[in-house]
Amino acid sequence: MPDKSYQNSDQNRRLEKLETHIEIINKELGNIRSDLAMVKSDVSWLKRFFWIIATSSIAGLVASVLNLMLK
């Protein structure tokens, strides 16, 4: 009988340790999720920059074609 009580207390200790590890993992995953959401929303400046470059390139192309047509 003493072996079972020791085994149960050992199992209880392991379960408590496991529960604390699970709590820590959940907290860290929550932080990672919020960080990823922040990175995802920070990419909007890149889209704006792309459209500025694309618009200016197309405007330059149209201007050069008009210049060729008028000469």
Q: What percent of the chain has pLDDT over 90?
A: 30
Task: Report angle CA 31, 18, 14 to the nearest 5 degrees.
Answer: 165
Domain extents for the chain? 2-70
Q: pLDDT value at position 62?
A: 95
- The reported pTM is 0.41
Locate 19 and state its tokens. 């529960």
Locate 42 and state its tokens. 């920070």
Sign for the CA dihedral angle at 49, 50, 53, 55 comes to negative
For residue 5, name the pLDDT band (cuts at 50, 70, 90). low
Alpha helices in 1-71 (DSSP H): 2-41, 44-70
Residue 1 has pLDDT above 70, yes or no: no
